Structure 1
Amino acid sequence: MEKKMKSVWFVFVMIVAFLMAAAEGTDSIHVSGKVLCQDCTQGWNEWVSGAKPIKGSVVSVTCLDERRRVMYYGSDLTDELGGFDLLLNKTSCYGKPLNPHNCFLRLVSSPDPVCNIPTDFAGGNSGIKLRRPTVVYRGLTKYEMGPFYYTTPMCDQPDTNNNHDADSNITEKDTNY
């Protein structure tokens, strides 16, 4: 019985060691998600659950170094289902390691002539940081981001803030860049 417990314990320790080594040794980062069009002119049910994918929309990822300089920039076009999949190498072109927590994902453009106003729902317009990976397995780290949305100009809410000096009070902490 004691011999069996030792072998079970050994297998458990080996599995944990393998998983830890796999998480540390990842050499590529995948960032995926969807881009959809949300039309507010529809009824509430269609607005909430009837978003349509946008083919050919551009999504970008920008990674910064510890001094907040751009270290990596990449973009991808969405497919017919509105999906994108960006592949990043964990080592930049300068040989420095890429820290995914210093990377931002954002909407760039929409080819749809009607649905082309980026919304900040899920951080698509202002940019969202890569926080927690959804998959870490062997040489792969994957971040699956929530859907990003564009809307029609009719649905865009104008900025009603009359304080034009408000932009001068923005600190570095308030922005992604």
Structure 2
Amino acid sequence: MERTSILLIIAAASFLFMFNGVADALKKDSEVFQVGGKVLCQDCTEGWNEWVTGAKPIKGCKVSVTCLDDRSRIVHYASDLTDDAGNFEISVTKYTNGGKELKPQNCFLRLVSSPDPVCNIATDSAGGKTGVKLHRPTAVYRDIVKYVLGPFYYSTPMCDEPDTSIVDSDNGKESNY
């Protein structure tokens, strides 16, 4: 019992030191933080195994980071294209032209476009279509703070969910069928 208590105390202390290290790095870190991830094509017309494990990287997809200030105004926008392996990496300067500091938790990442003529329907898997906020950095080392998100997926038009709402021509209101 006593040994278990000591181990719990050591684990809690380790967690606190690690958390303080991340917080300190975010406070006094470099002028830049990085956002990275991967974009893949997932084809629902394939069999289950191919659909789940056979996603292929898409080259040239546009991914963006948008950062807001405390009053929800856009103060920074950056984008990047994916490479041959479907990877992207966006560097964000932590200070705007006015000298205000950008807070990573006020930034979000989303899919913008896919050049693939077959696989170009953005999905919301991992939040790629609606956008996903940056929460905790994945890596903090010396002056590097990096957020790795995703993977994000595009799919084929055949996999797109149909719009089930129709507008009633008599009263102009939308209804589901």
Equivalences for residues 10-159 of structure 1 within 5 A: 19=21, 21-27=24-30, 28-159=32-163
Report if aligned partners of 1:122, 1:146 keep a CA contact under 8 Å in 2.
yes
8 Å contact kept, 1:117–1:152? yes
For residue 92 of structure 1, report the CA deviation from its aligned partner: 1.4
Residue matched to 2:12 = none
For 1:143-164, what per-residue CA distance to the aligned partner results, in whole angstroms no more than 9, with x for missing partners? 0102000000011011213478
Query: 4+ residue runs of structure 1 moved beyond 2 angstroms?
Result: 18-23, 161-166
Aligned residue pairs: how many? 152
> In the alignment, is the contact (CA less than 8 A) between 1:33 and 1:83 conserved in 2?
yes
Asked if 2 retains the 8 angstrom alpha-carbon contact of 1:37 and 1:150, the reply is: yes
Determine helix, strand or coil for the equivalent of 1:61. Answer: strand
Supply the distance in 2 between the matched residues of 1:93 and 1:149 (Cα, whole angstroms).
33
Shift of 1:22: 3.1
In the TM superposition, residue 107 of structure 1 has moved relative to its aligned partner by 0.4
| Distance in 2 (alpha carbons) for counterparts of 1:114 and 1:26 | 42
TM superposition score normalised by structure 2? 0.80
Q: Is the 8 Å Cα contact of residues 55 and 79 (structure 1) preserved in structure 2? A: yes
Aligned sequence identity (%): 60
C-alpha displacement of 1:165 = 6.1
- TM-score between the two structures when normalised by the length of structure 1: 0.80
1:95 maps to a residue whose letter is G
Is the CA contact (8 Å cut-off) linking 1:23 and 1:137 kept in structure 2? no
Cα separation, 2, equivalents of 1:137 and 1:162: 52
C-alpha spacing 1:165/1:123, structure 2 compared with 1 (3 Å) = farther
Unaligned runs of 5+ in 2: 1-16
| 1:139, distance to aligned residue in structure 2 (A) | 1.7
Q: Give the CA deviation at 1:137.
A: 2.1
Q: Which structure has the highest strand share of the two?
A: 2
Could you tell me how far 1:136 is from its partner in structure 2? 1.6
Q: Distance in 2 between matches of 1:29 and 1:21?
A: 14
**Does the residue aligned with 1:106 lie in a helix, a strand or coil?**
strand
Per-residue CA deviation, residues 97-142 of structure 1 (Å, 9 max, x unaligned), is 0000110100000010000000011110100000111112222211
What runs of 5+ residues in structure 1 fail to find an aligned partner? 1-14, 167-177
Shift of 1:47: 0.2
- Distance between the aligned counterparts of 2:61 and 2:72, measured in 1? 27
